[in-house]
């Protein structure tokens, strides 16, 4: 029985991937045109949001034709003023990306969730692995329109 398993099963050593030589150039992670385009849209949107007075930082995630935008605002802004800042950012974003549905929030918890999704995508995880999280974010903040 042992002989038969050796004959039919073969006896080969497991192949390990070749380790690159020290100093050898590494191949960058492959990206798809859709991923690159979404990243470019996210970069444009966050740059535009940061131009608005009272916006300290911004994080964007693009999924399909949806933009989820989290704003980190100055800490001393009143609630009414937050809505005005969000509206100003919305107008500017819709001006540069008119074909997207934009959801904006300056709520700390929602912004943190958007950041975690953005970080996961930056680490190479597919956007589809965040479908549930994006749906929950979308439920918390309804898309804004002009």
91: number of Cβ within 10 Å: 13
pTM above 0.85, yes or no: no
10-residue mean pLDDT profile of the chain (146 residues): values are 40 42 38 67 96 96 94 88 94 96 93 95 91 90 60
- The per-residue pLDDT for 18 is 46
Q: Which domain holds residue 127?
A: 33-140
Q: What is the CATH number of the domain that holds 69?
A: 3.30.70.1350
Could you write out the DSSP letters of every residue in 7-29? HHH---PPPPPPPPPTTPPPPPP
Query: Residue 65 domain-assigned?
Result: yes
What residue has token string 């974003």?
93
Task: Give the whole-angstrom CA distance, residue 28 versus residue 30.
Answer: 6
Query: Residue 113 domain-assigned?
Result: yes
Q: How many domains does the chain have?
A: 1
- The per-residue pLDDT for 60 is 96
Query: Residue 21 domain-assigned?
Result: no
Query: Residue 102 domain-assigned?
Result: yes
């Amino acid at each position: 029985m042992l002989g038969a398993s050796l004959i039919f099963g073969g006896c080969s050593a497991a192949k390990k991937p070749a380790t690159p030589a020290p100093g050898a150039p590494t191949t960058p992670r492959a990206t798809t045109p859709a991923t690159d385009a979404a990243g470019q849209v996210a970069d444009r949107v966050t740059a535009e949001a940061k131009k608005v007075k009272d916006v300290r930082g911004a994080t964007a995630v693009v999924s399909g034709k949806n933009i989820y935008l989290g704003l980190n605002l100055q800490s001393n802004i009143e609630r009414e003023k937050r809505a005005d800042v969000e509206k100003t950012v919305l107008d500017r974003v819709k001006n540069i990306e008119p074909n997207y549905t934009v959801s904006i929030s300056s709520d700390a918890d929602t912004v943190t969730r958007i950041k975690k999704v953005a970080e996961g995508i930056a680490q190479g995880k597919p956007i589809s692995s965040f479908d549930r999280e994006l749906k929950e974010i979308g439920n918390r903040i309804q898309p804004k329109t002009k």
